[in-house]
Every structure is written in structure tokens, then in C-alpha cells.
Chain A
Amino acid sequence: MKPTAFDYHAPASPEEAVSLLGSLGDGAKIIAGGQSLTPMLALRLAVFEHLVDIRRIESLRGVSRSNGTVRVGAGTTEAAVGRSDVVAADVPLLARATPFIGHLAIRNRGTIGGCVAHADAAAEYPAVALALDATIETLSPRGTRSIPAAEFFTGIWSTALEPDELITALEFGVWSGRTGFAVEEFAVRSGDFAIAGATVAVELSSSGSVDRCAIGLFGLGPTAVRATAAEESAAGTAVPDLNPDEIGQAALAGQDVPSDSHGSAAYRTRVGAAMVATAWRRAVKEASGE
């Protein structure tokens, strides 16, 4: 199928983009890489009278580091995130999640800001943003906002963004010390939407107990979710006293896990717990220097 007719706008700056969104109203939508929006338009799951293309805005692209923070411009493609030495060194969880996104041709167009704004429950980056307490920087005609990831994802394909608000960047704090990071995902085929996935970050103390840890889940709720109770139960405990399988079960306890043609909620819960356990083992192994 083909999309319904729309008018096309290609603003040159973020300010021009949000001004356009403000004046065009609810019938307008930002298109970034368009790797999720274009199929939705073609299948007519989404209909917009105006598309505002932000791919030509140079200032939205690029990765930089300052004061213990890595800033990734919203228009940075997933492929560029995957190639970034700064991301690989300082935000390994983001780098390791990237190869799971679609396939290379998708990552060559898709952007980190678009992925987070689309907020698919099965997408990898929202779970990374949640686990690492990323900040989502935005611009609207009313000015800028910094939205904590924990407050950003509000429901199925829903976020805290206003209709005239543009994501300009994501900021990630850099974890240092004895840290380990892992992403595990199960999908029917490479590049398909995740049946279940987990992102795990751990930091160990010099004595080998868990100083802090973060578990982000995807494909396992209406949005990406953080397994806070499982994190709290693990924090402060010596690694040998922790059973990764129990952490996996604790992470899935009480989650609003979806059922669909690819798997029941009970099945996804079991797979999700296994993904958390496997990611936990790998993250701890890395943090331990093994």
C-alpha cells in the first residue's frame, strides 16, 4: 500500500522545526529516519497531513563527551551510534544494543531520537535509556526541557513529548569503575521485533559486591520497563550469593507482559527471565574482569 498524500517540510534548524510543528498543529509529524513511520504510513496505520523532515538538520547529529556525560544528537543514525568510538568506550550498553536493531539498511537511516520518540515496546534503545537513567533533551516553541527517561515512556507508543516538541539529544551518564554491560534478545529471526530482551549494567565494589545495577526490559510490557525491585534486591549483595536465575524471575515478577501471535505472556515471561539471567551473568563476568 502507499501512504495518503501529505505536504513535506524540510526545516534547516531545530527552532524552525518546532515553529512549523506549532503552526501546523496536530496534523503534522516529525519524520527522522522514517524506518518505523514510513511503514506505518504505507500500511495506513498512521495518517498525517504534514511531515516535517529533520534529517537535514546538521546540529542534531553527532556524539560528544563532556564532564562524565555522553551526548548523542537525536538525529544520529543507529549505524553511526554503532560506529562511534566514544559510545563503545563510555556507553557500552548503547553500543551493544545497536546490532539488534533491524538490519544494517535500517540502521543506516534510523535515528536514536526517532527510535526513542516512537517508543516501541520491543525496541532496544528505550530499555538502554531507562537502565542508564538517560536524560532526553527536547525543544518546543516554549523552550527546552530535560526529561528523565524514567518519566518519558508513558504507554504503548506513548511518551511525555508534546505534539510540537522535538527531541534534540540523549544524554547518558558514564559508568566507571568495575563495570559490566550486556544485552540479550530473543527474536524469531535476526532483526525481527524482540519476543523478549534485557539490558543489564552492573558496577561491583572492590570487595566484589554489587554497588549498583540496572535492568531494562523490552518486549515485556506496554513500553520498555525497568526491573526496579530485582535491582534493589541485588544491590549490596556479594556476587557469589546472587543466583542469576532468581534475579531473572524477580525482574519479570509483576510485569504487564503482552500476549500475541508470537507467544503467550507466560512464554514471554519465561524467555524474559532467561534473557535477564544470561545478561546478568555476562555483565558480572565482565565487571569481575574475567
Chain B
Amino acid sequence: MSDDIADVKVTVTVNGRPRRAAVPPRLTLADFLRERCQLTGTHLGCEHGVCGACSVLLDGEAVCACLMFAVQADGAEVTTVEGLSPGDGELSPVQAAFRDHHGLQCGFCTPGFVVSVTAFLRDNPDPSDDQIREALSGNLCRCTGYQGIFKAVRAAAESSSASATPSETR
């Protein structure tokens, strides 16, 4: 195994801002976001695609940031949980629904849920209960607070303001 792997220059647009960096190919997108961009809202749980804590939007699609390398995101647009809120301490409709309906306990899994749910409601603005449960199946809450999370998604879907989507395009 070679120890002198050259870094690769990448440009990733993160929450609307181009980030240029030279990265080792084995650096995951999640570690790039956390360590190079100081965006620590993207959490790492299992690091093998089961827990969903690292969910981010890649060109608008929810993906596990632990299951891809930063080099693979070169040229792409990434939205992290930090990019979902309008700023000035305001919450996005999905975030507000999580607060209002006890959708978080310890909060570790929350950024992943919020990102996944934001993409889900954008694509399915009027979901059935079963569709919501299916959509939540890619995120684990180790506090097992699923009923509150479900209620938050239901409420976010029913509030007309939930149709507002983040700025990225599909």
C-alpha cells in the first residue's frame, strides 16, 4: 500500500458557498463537511450507511455522507442541516415541526432526520402515514422517539408552509 497518495483538488458548493480544498481520496464527504468546512451538524453514527445521522442533500437528493468520498462530490452541490434554516436563528418548517411535536430527545439523530424529511416532503408533499414511516426507515433514533418524529413529519406535511423548500434544485 502506497503511503504517498497525492491529494486531489475539489470544489464542492456547500450550502450555496463554493468550497475549494485539496483532499486525500479516502476522506469521506462527512469528514470533509465536519473537519474541512467546520459544519458539525452532519453527525456520524454507524459510518456504514445504516443509521442515517450523516444524511445530506447531494444535488438535492438525500444521501449518506459517510458512504461517499469528498472527491466524488467534486462539482456537486451539497446542502447540510445548517443550510436548511433561513438564518438569523429561525427554523425551517421541518425543524419547527420537530420542536413543536417533541421530535427530538438527545438530538443526535435529528440533523439526519431533518435533512431526510425535508427531501421527502419536497418530493411527496401529501404523504400517507405508511409513506412517512417508509421514508423514516433510513434514519435511526437511539432514544426510540419515533412517535414524536412521526407526528412532526405529519404536522410539517399538513402545514402549508412546509411546501417551502431549500434553495437547491434537483
Interface residues in chain A, defined as those with a beta carbon under 8 Å from any beta carbon in chain B: 1-8, 10, 31, 34-35, 38-39, 41-43, 47, 49, 51, 53, 55, 79, 99, 102-106, 108-109, 189-191
Q: Which residues of B contact A104 (CB under 8 A)?
A: 62, 116, 120, 135, 138
Q: Is the Cβ of A5 less than 8 Å from the Cβ of B64?
A: no
Q: Is the Cβ of B5 less than 8 Å from the Cβ of A39?
A: no
Q: What 0/1 readout, one digit per residue, does chain B (18-39) give for beta carbons within 8 Å of chain A?
A: 0000001110100100000000
Complexed CA–CA distance, A6 and B23 (Å):
12
* Nearest A-chain residue to B60, judged by Cβ: A108
Q: Which residues of B contact A43 (CB under 8 A)?
A: 48
Q: Distance in Å from the Cβ of A54 to the closest Cβ of chain B?
A: 11
Kindly state whether residue B67 has any CB partner on chain A within 8 Å.
yes
Interface centre among A1, A43, A106 (most CB of B within 10 A): A106
Q: Say whether, besides A3-B26, A5-B1, A38 and B8 are in contact (CB < 8 Å).
A: no
Kindly state whether residue B3 has any CB partner on chain A within 8 Å.
yes
Interface centre among A10, A34, A105 (most CB of B within 10 A): A105
Complexed CA–CA distance, A56 and B138 (Å):
26
Complexed CA–CA distance, A87 and B99 (Å):
40
Q: Which one of A6, A10, A189, A190 lies within 8 Å of B5 (CB-CB)?
A: A6
Across the A-B interface, the 8 shortest Cβ-Cβ residue pairs: A103-B138, A8-B25, A39-B48, A190-B137, A108-B61, A5-B5, A38-B67, A3-B26
Complexed CA–CA distance, A39 and B50 (Å):
10
Write 12 A-B pairs (CB below 8 A) sorted by A numbering.
Answer: A4-B1, A5-B24, A10-B71, A38-B68, A39-B47, A41-B26, A42-B47, A51-B25, A53-B72, A55-B72, A108-B61, A109-B63
* Nearest A-chain residue to B120, judged by Cβ: A104
Complexed CA–CA distance, A55 and B26 (Å):
17
Q: Which residues of B contact A5 (CB under 8 A)?
A: 1-3, 5, 24-26
* Nearest A-chain residue to B3, judged by Cβ: A5
Q: Say whether, besides A5-B5, A105-B63, A191 and B68 are in contact (CB < 8 Å).
A: no
Q: Which residues of A contact B120 (CB under 8 A)?
A: 104
Q: Which residues of B contact A10 (CB under 8 A)?
A: 71
Q: Is the Cβ of B5 less than 8 Å from the Cβ of A7?
A: yes
Q: Is the Cβ of A8 less than 8 Å from the Cβ of B49?
A: no
Q: Which residues of A contact B28 (CB under 8 A)?
A: 2, 38, 42
Kindly state whether residue B90 has any CB partner on chain A within 8 Å.
no
Q: Is the Cβ of A6 less than 8 Å from the Cβ of B67?
A: no
* Nearest B-chain residue to A83, judged by Cβ: B123
Q: Distance in Å from the Cβ of B125 to the closest Cβ of chain A?
A: 16
Kindly state whether residue B108 has any CB partner on chain A within 8 Å.
no
Interface centre among A8, A43, A109 (most CB of B within 10 A): A8
Q: Which one of A6, A42, A105 lies within 8 Å of B138 (CB-CB)?
A: A105
Complexed CA–CA distance, A105 and B24 (Å):
24
Q: Is the Cβ of A2 less than 8 Å from the Cβ of B26?
A: yes
Q: Which one of B26, B47, B137 lies within 8 Å of A191 (CB-CB)?
A: B137
Q: Which residues of A contact B68 (CB under 8 A)?
A: 34, 38, 109
Other A-B contacts than A6-B25, A53-B71, 7 sampled, CB-CB below 8 A, are: A3-B26, A55-B72, A103-B137, A103-B138, A105-B49, A190-B134, A191-B137
Q: Which residues of A contact B25 (CB under 8 A)?
A: 5-8, 51
Q: Is the Cβ of B26 less than 8 Å from the Cβ of A105?
A: no
Q: Which residues of B contact A108 (CB under 8 A)?
A: 58, 61-63
Q: Distance in Å from the Cβ of A23 to the closest Cβ of chain B?
A: 16
* Nearest B-chain residue to A77, judged by Cβ: B61
Kindly state whether residue B146 has any CB partner on chain A within 8 Å.
no
Q: Distance in Å from the Cβ of A91 to the closest Cβ of chain B?
A: 22
Complexed CA–CA distance, A108 and B68 (Å):
12
Kindly state whether residue B95 has any CB partner on chain A within 8 Å.
no
* Nearest A-chain residue to B64, judged by Cβ: A105
Q: Is the Cβ of B8 less than 8 Å from the Cβ of A105?
A: no
Q: Distance in Å from the Cβ of B78 to the closest Cβ of chain A?
A: 13
* Nearest B-chain residue to A191, judged by Cβ: B137
Q: Distance in Å from the Cβ of B7 to the closest Cβ of chain A?
A: 10
Kindly state whether residue B69 has any CB partner on chain A within 8 Å.
yes
Q: Is the Cβ of B48 less than 8 Å from the Cβ of A42?
A: yes
Q: Which residues of A contact B58 (CB under 8 A)?
A: 108
Complexed CA–CA distance, A106 and B120 (Å):
14
Q: Which one of B26, B48, B49, B63 lies within 8 Å of A4 (CB-CB)?
A: B26
